[in-house]
Amino acid sequence: MKVLSFFLSLYLIGEVYGEEQKVIYQYKKYEKFDLGNLEVKGQLIAPGDISVRERERRRFELDLYSRKDFDAFIRKDVESLR
Amino acid sequence: MKAALAILTLALTLPLLADEGKKKPFSAALFEKKYYFSALNEFFVETHNREIINDDLKLLEDLLYYTGIELLEDYDSDLLRKYPTSSTRFILGRQALQQKKYKDALDLFMKIHPDHRYYPEGKLLEAQVHDQQGKVSERGEAYGACVSAAEKSAKEAKTEKIQRYYVMVSEICQVNKARHLFKIEDYKASLDAYDKIPKKSYKWPYLLLEKAWVYYQLGDYNRTLGLLTTYKSPLLSTYFFPEAEYLAALSYFRLCLYEDSLTIINQFYQVYRPRFQALDSVLKKNRHSQSYFFNLMFRPEADLKTQEDFVRQIVIRMKKQTRFSLDFNAIHKLTLEEKRIAQTEKPLIRSKLLPHLEEVKSNMMAKINYNSKTDIFQFLDSIPFLSQELFKLNLEIISRKKDLVYMNKRLIADRGRGDYDNVKRSRFEQFWTFEGAFWADELGDYSLGLKSNCQTLRNELKEEE
């Protein structure tokens, strides 16, 4: 009896492992959406006018380029002579 | 007694006979035949391994007067140090300055003789050395000496070309003074220094942009825009500077004339930038060529046709440079010397001289090729930077417009487009209204009369009917 139950346990363990190995995941290769037939449940609302709440915006001023010297021009002038 | 007299006469005549019998150096013979480029090369061959005497130095200076000193750039600096002349010191000083060996450069420039033809340009370079060393008063003195020496040399010049060269040196020294004043933010003094350059000067069109920046820093945006308008005149059509477009857009922005600013930005993106990109791709294909840019100076190629205007404008500006005139003139003289030698000399002499001349000529052509390539790519390389700055300006305008919306305000838009009251001018400046035509004597004196649009008004709420 002991021998029989031992072999039965071995068989059951083998079956469990075997099943785990057989799992195959498949992904949908193609799916079609018919947007025209989609229904959204709820109440349709739209703003009557475009309005902005009046407020001070946090400003991040960009550092715009402003020439501070003509060093490159000085070098170029000297080079232009010979 | 007779015998003694005969011996004495013989003793006196022998050295003379010996002198006549002594073979003249080949370089001196070539100099006499006016083969100056060949003579210069032979001179170095004959003298490089012996002691140099004063006559050698005199011959070298005489030769360099005809050939120019550009050829010396190719000689080893250790060799040139053997010949202590003002010309070699000038060349060696320039090389030391480029290598940032300021002490050596200064020593060499200081030793150029005040009567020498390179003295004024030497002073200009000396000022550069003082500038690098942060010596402000010495720099000012060097520029002052440069201006007075160049003006003196211009008055004494024998030909118009030489006179033009000295005027150019004098003006560069004068302009550099103005540029240094701009750097230390003494804008009024800088403007005074710029105003000393006459309108007929070759440098003048370039200075409009610099003066426009000075007025910008003074907050006179109308004058900035007026100066930049001068570039639209047909007389200055070859002078296109992307930086001028940026400065105009920036000035409109400072006056809160956002739409005018956006017009310039859009024009840059839609018209100029695609042409620059196309030009860039064509030129980059030839960047390793030894002759493409040299040929471009004389004949813009077919694949540049659509961008031809820009190339032509850049090329015209480069051809007006002193450097190009000197190099091109050297090539012309070399060709003439080659022809004369080929026509008049025996085969042995021809085979000795012509290969060297051909090599020198090829070096000069490579130099022009390199310089024109550098100038064109420097111009094209400035485009991405300015393009990026214009993009930032565009973003800033959008942001300012959004501010107005969020604060429920609008710009004061019911202004007149321009008014004489908005024109700032000194008592020396004249005023005429612009009648749709550019007059030569008015160029560079324009000012717009736009009122600042930065004042804002609150939008009133519309009541529903």
Contact present, B37 and B27 (Cβ < 8 Å): no
Longest dimension (CA), chain A: 111
Instruction: Report CA torsion sign: B35, B38, B42, B48.
Output: positive
Tell whether B441 is covered by a domain.
no
Tell whether B353 is covered by a domain.
yes
User: Is B208 near chain A, with CB under 8 Å?
Assistant: no
- pLDDT digit string (tens) for B188-200? 999 999 999 999 8
Counted domains in chain B = 1
| Interface A:B, Cβ pairs < 8 A | 76
User: Is A49 near chain B, with CB under 8 Å?
Assistant: no
- List the structure tokens of B29: 């013979």
Q: Which chain A residues are within 8 Å of B179, Cβ to Cβ?
A: 69-71, 73-74
Contact present, B300 and B308 (Cβ < 8 Å): yes
Tell whether B153 is covered by a domain.
no
User: Is B459 near chain A, with CB under 8 Å?
Assistant: no
pLDDT at residue B307 above 80? Answer: no
Tell whether B218 is covered by a domain.
no
What is the average pLDDT across B55-71? 94
The residue of chain B nearest to residue A63, with distances taken between CA atoms, is B392
Please identify which residue in the block is written with the tokens 């800033």: B396
Backbone angles phi, psi at B456, to 5 degrees: -115, 155
User: Is B291 near chain A, with CB under 8 Å?
Assistant: no
**Exposure of A54 in the CB half-sphere (CA atoms within 13 A):** 7
Read off the pTM: 0.80
User: Is B400 near chain A, with CB under 8 Å?
Assistant: no
| Residue A73 to residue B128, Cβ atoms within 8 A | no
| Residue B183 to residue A68, Cβ atoms within 8 A | yes
Q: Tell me the average pLDDT of chain B.
A: 87
pLDDT number for residue B300: 60
- Predicted confidence band at B126 (pLDDT cuts at 50, 70, 90)? very high
Comparing B87 with A27, the larger pLDDT belongs to B87
The residue of chain A nearest to residue B320, with distances taken between CA atoms, is A80
Q: Which chain B residues are within 8 Å of A79, Cβ to Cβ?
A: 323
Q: How far is B320 from chain A (nearest CA, A)?
A: 10
Backbone angles phi, psi at B354, to 5 degrees: -65, -40
In single-letter form, the type of residue at position B347 comes to P
pLDDT at residue B79 above 80? Answer: yes
Within B289-442, residue ranges assigned H as helices are: 292-296, 308-319, 322-344, 347-406
Tell whether B287 is covered by a domain.
yes
All residues at 6 or more sequence positions from A68 whose CB lies less than 8 Å from its CB, including other chains: B183
Tell whether B267 is covered by a domain.
yes
Longest dimension (CA), chain B: 144
pLDDT at residue B457 above 90? Answer: no
The per-residue b/e assignment along B279-307, b for 16 or more CB within 10 angstroms, e otherwise, is: bbebbeebeeeeebbbebbeebeeebeeb
User: Is A81 near chain B, with CB under 8 Å?
Assistant: yes
| Residue B399 to residue A59, Cβ atoms within 8 A | yes
pLDDT at residue B315 above 90? Answer: no
Contact present, B417 and B460 (Cβ < 8 Å): no
User: Is A55 near chain B, with CB under 8 Å?
Assistant: yes
- Predicted confidence band at A17 (pLDDT cuts at 50, 70, 90)? low
pLDDT at residue B459 above 90? Answer: no
Contact present, A81 and B323 (Cβ < 8 Å): yes
Comparing B450 with B94, the larger pLDDT belongs to B94
User: Is A58 near chain B, with CB under 8 Å?
Assistant: no
Tell whether B460 is covered by a domain.
no
| Residue B408 to residue A80, Cβ atoms within 8 A | no
What is the average pLDDT across B47-58? 93
Q: How far is B391 from chain A (nearest CA, A)?
A: 10
pLDDT number for residue B17: 42
pLDDT number for residue B15: 46
pLDDT at residue A1 above 80? Answer: no
- Predicted confidence band at B421 (pLDDT cuts at 50, 70, 90)? low
Please identify which residue in the block is written with the tokens 């002490």: B103
| Residue B183 to residue A62, Cβ atoms within 8 A | no
Q: How far is A52 from chain B (nearest CA, A)?
A: 6
What is the average pLDDT across B199-205? 91
Closest CA to B165 of B338, B363, B263, B156: B156
User: Is B161 near chain A, with CB under 8 Å?
Assistant: no
Facing residue for B323 by CB, picked from A55, A66, A81: A81
Facing residue for A74 by CB, picked from B179, B246, B406: B179
Could you give the CA distance from residue B127 to residue B137 in angstroms, rounded to a whole number? 10
Per mean pLDDT, which range of B90-94, B150-154, B408-412 is the poorest?
B408-412
Could you give the CA distance from residue B102 to residue B44 in angstroms, rounded to a whole number? 28
What is the average pLDDT across B227-241? 85
Tell whether B3 is covered by a domain.
no
B274: containing domain = 240-406
| Residue B396 to residue A62, Cβ atoms within 8 A | yes
